C-alpha cells in the first residue's frame, strides 16, 4: 500500500471501537460463510482507491468476490479471541491469477491477489502486529517474510504462483505456531480477521474469491 504501513493503519482503525467478543469458549467461531450475502459485521477500510467486494455464488459455493484495479481496500471483521483457545484458522479461496509485477520483498511489489490476515492490537498502535496469509506472487510456499513496509506485519506464503489459479483451495493454519515463528513469542489476544485484494502499487487488475472463514479450538492432541 502506497506510503502506508499496514499494521499502523489497521491499528488506528481498530482503535475506533472495541472488537466483539468471540462467544462461548470451545465452540467453533464462524467469521462468515457468506450464505446470507455480505454481513454488515464486515467493515470496509479504503486505503487507495477501492477494491470491490461482492457476494456471489461461485461454482456452487457462497463467497465474496474481490476485484481490484489499482486499488487497495479491505474488509475487516472485529472479533476478540485468545489464539491459545482458538489456534486454528480455516478458510477457502480462489484467484484468477497472481500479480505479474508483484514482489513480496519490495514496496513497489507489495500487492496480492488474495490475503487473509489476523490483527493482534496493542494499546500502543506501533506495537500492533499482524499475520498476513497470502497467495504469494514469488515468495516460495511456506516462507515467512516481514512486510516490505513494517516488521510488525509478517507475510506467510500459504500458496504461491499460478499453478492452482482458478481452483478453490481449502486452507488451515495454526495461529499460535505461526505467531511464535513470526515474532518469537506468544501472541496477545487477537482483535480482527480481515480479507484484502490489492493492486495499488503495481496498478494491475486482480480477481479473487473468498469462501467460509472459521476459527477452531485445538485438536485433542494439541491441547495443553
In a domain, 27, yes or no: yes
- Integer Cα distance of 27 and 50 in angstroms: 35
In a domain, 202, yes or no: yes
Q: Which helix (H) or strand (E) holds 113?
A: strand 112-120
**221 secondary structure, DSSP code:** G
In a domain, 157, yes or no: yes
- For 19, the 3-state DSSP assignment is coil
Residue with cell 484495479: 69
In a domain, 45, yes or no: yes
pTM beyond 0.95: no
- Integer Cα distance of 73 and 50 in angstroms: 5
In a domain, 141, yes or no: yes
Q: Give the list of residues 6+ apart from residue 151 with CB closer than 8 angstroms, or none.
A: none
The domain tally of the chain equals 1
In a domain, 112, yes or no: yes
pLDDT at 142: 97
pLDDT at 25: 61
Give 17-56 pLDDT, tens digit per residue: 455 555 556 789 999 999 999 999 999 999 889 999 999 9
In a domain, 1, yes or no: no
- Integer Cα distance of 35 and 57 in angstroms: 9
- Integer Cα distance of 221 and 200 in angstroms: 43
pLDDT at 4: 46
Q: Give the list of residues 6+ apart from residue 197 with CB closer than 8 angstroms, or none.
A: 51, 66, 67, 68, 112, 113, 114, 115, 206, 207, 208
Query: Could you tell me the residue range of the domain that residue 108 belongs to?
Result: 6-222
In a domain, 111, yes or no: yes
Helix, strand, coil: what percent of the chain each, to 5? 10, 45, 45
CB atoms within 10 A of CB 173: 18
Q: Which mean pLDDT values do the consecutive 10-residue runs of the chain (224 residues) have?
A: 48 48 74 96 92 97 98 95 97 98 94 96 86 97 93 96 98 98 96 96 97 93 58
CATH of the domain at 157: 2.60.120.430
pLDDT at 124: 80
Amino acid at each position: 500500500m502506497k506510503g502506508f504501513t499496514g499494521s499502523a493503519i489497521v491499528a488506528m482503525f481498530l482503535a475506533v471501537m472495541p472488537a466483539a467478543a468471540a462467544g462461548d469458549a470451545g465452540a467453533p467461531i464462524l467469521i462468515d460463510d457468506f450464505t446470507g450475502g455480505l454481513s454488515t459485521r464486515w467493515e470496509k477500510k479504503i486505503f487507495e482507491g477501492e477494491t470491490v467486494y461482492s457476494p456471489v455464488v461461485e461454482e456452487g459455493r457462497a463467497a465474496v468476490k474481490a476485484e481490484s484495479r489499482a486499488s487497495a481496500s479491505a474488509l475487516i471483521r472485529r472479533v476478540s479471541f485468545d489464539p491459545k483457545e482458538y489456534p486454528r484458522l480455516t478458510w477457502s479461496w480462489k484467484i484468477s491469477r497472481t500479480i505479474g509485477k508483484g514482489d513480496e520483498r519490495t514496496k513497489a511489489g507489495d500487492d496480492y491477489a488474495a490475503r487473509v490476515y489476523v490483527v493482534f492490537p496493542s494499546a500502543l498502535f506501533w506495537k500492533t502486529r499482524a499475520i498476513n496469509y497470502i497467495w504469494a506472487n514469488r515468495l516460495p510456499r511456506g516462507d515467512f517474510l516481514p512486510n516490505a513496509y513494517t516488521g510488525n506485519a509478517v507475510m506467510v506464503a500459504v500458496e504461491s504462483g499460478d499453478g492452482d489459479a482458478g481452483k478453490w483451495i481449502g486452507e488451515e493454519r495454526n495461529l499460535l505456531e505461526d505467531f511464535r515463528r513470526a515474532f518469537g513469542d506468544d501472541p496477545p489476544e487477537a482483535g480482527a480477521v480481515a480479507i484484502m485484494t490489492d493492486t495499488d502499487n503495481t496498478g494491475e487488475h486482480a480477481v479473487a474469491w473468498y469462501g467460509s472463514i472459521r476459527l477452531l479450538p485445538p485438536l485433542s492432541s494439541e491441547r495443553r
